Amino acid sequence: MLKTKCRLIGCILLSAMVMTACQAQEQVVDLDDSLMQVAQIGAETEGESQVEAELSENQLAIQWKPYSTAYVSCEDFARVMHWDYAWDADSFMFQEDEMQLDFVVGSLHVTRQGEIIDVMPQCPILEDQNLYLSVDWLEESFRSAISRFDDRIELVDPDEASLYDLAKFFPDDLKMAMAHPELDSSKRVMAAIELPRSMNIEIPKIDPQKMMNTRPILNYVTEFKLDLQDHGYTDEEIASISYGEYEILHSHWFLSEEMQELALGYYPESAKEDISRWTFGELKDRQMAEVDTARLDRFSEEEWASLQERDIVEADLFYLLKEFHQPATIVAQSDQALREVLEGYYEFGILYWTQMK
């Protein structure tokens, strides 16, 4: 079992499968300078939802677009979220304070400052001078903050629906926030990228899942380049892709046939599921959840209770096991010894990102 699991983890970053392409035929019509250019979508729309009832200010009507896909108006969504919204030709952006995310009609990519930070299940579309965004992506992104009904979506928790929570952050963001902690923008950034800390340690603990590794993918093993080529990326495109972007793209690719067999062997209880629809990201999430559970299972109830009383957060058990190897050894350490180890790990996390070039 351990051998299979190691093989699974080792294959995740070396396997690939053709990503679903998002294609749309566009015809650009020149209008007055005060208006945008209109791109007509080649696919036919089906049965747009006609919502007769008056919507409340936190609700949006669902429109049914090509291939029976649910969309909402980008302009209406920005209004409900109280974000700034701007569009030009076939692109648009949302902005919350100083956080801006960009979208392009016909592209699955969500970008920030030109870097891919997410991949949507359906492309934004432009129809009759109106831009529409996939409801599926909104549900994936904002989860419990949004409720979906047959004919509308509703924002139920505004505090949990922020572009800062959706975004990825660059090393320069962290440098600026650390250098100018008094700025409101710095506080927003740190609130988005910090993890809970043990023992009231003052050193920020950075969430690597919220950060973007901006080093070029060509600096890494050639298998990554081959993965991208297998998914249709040209050499010119690959030359501009960072490792962080590769991680995001890879996480949305479906498992290769080889990986499907390995996954089914490791998760036989999933035999009735359509494994071919699993992505590398979903497989990684399953594995990491198991790793977290196995790590905590190494501690007896008494040992874990003792560490909780000393204000050790569960996520920091990883660092402590790496340093002291055994639960009993961790428990036997003084508060000062545990604090020094954790402070060192927190500082290393900051240096890793702020020294990235």
271 or 104, greater pLDDT: 104
Structural domains counted in the chain: 2
Q: Are 258 and 12 in contact (CB under 8 A)?
A: no
pLDDT at 64: 86
Clarify whether residues 211 and 90 are in a common domain.
Answer: no
Looking at the domain assignment, is residue 264 inside a domain? yes
Clarify whether residues 159 and 181 are in a common domain.
Answer: no
Question: Rounded mean pLDDT of 42-51?
Answer: 42
Q: Select from 148, 166, 184 the last residue of a domain.
A: 166
DSSP 8-state code for residue 151: S
Q: Are 196 and 97 in contact (CB under 8 A)?
A: no
Q: Select from 114, 133, 166 the last residue of a domain.
A: 166
Looking at the domain assignment, is residue 224 inside a domain? yes
Report the chain's mean pLDDT, rounded to a whole number: 86
Clarify whether residues 325 and 177 are in a common domain.
Answer: yes
Clarify whether residues 129 and 215 are in a common domain.
Answer: no
- Pairwise CA distance, residues 104 & 92, whole Å: 7
Looking at the domain assignment, is residue 15 inside a domain? no
How does residue 62 score in pLDDT terms, banded at 50, 70 and 90?
very high
Clarify whether residues 186 and 306 are in a common domain.
Answer: yes
pLDDT at 66: 73
Quote the pTM value. Answer: 0.80
How does residue 54 score in pLDDT terms, banded at 50, 70 and 90?
confident
Q: For the domain that residue 139 is a member of, what is the CATH number?
A: 3.30.457.10
Looking at the domain assignment, is residue 13 inside a domain? no
Question: Rounded mean pLDDT of 307-327?
Answer: 96
Domain residues for the domain of 54 are 23-166
Q: Select from 122, 143, 166 the last residue of a domain.
A: 166
Question: Rounded mean pLDDT of 5-32?
Answer: 37
Looking at the domain assignment, is residue 12 inside a domain? no
How does residue 53 score in pLDDT terms, banded at 50, 70 and 90?
low
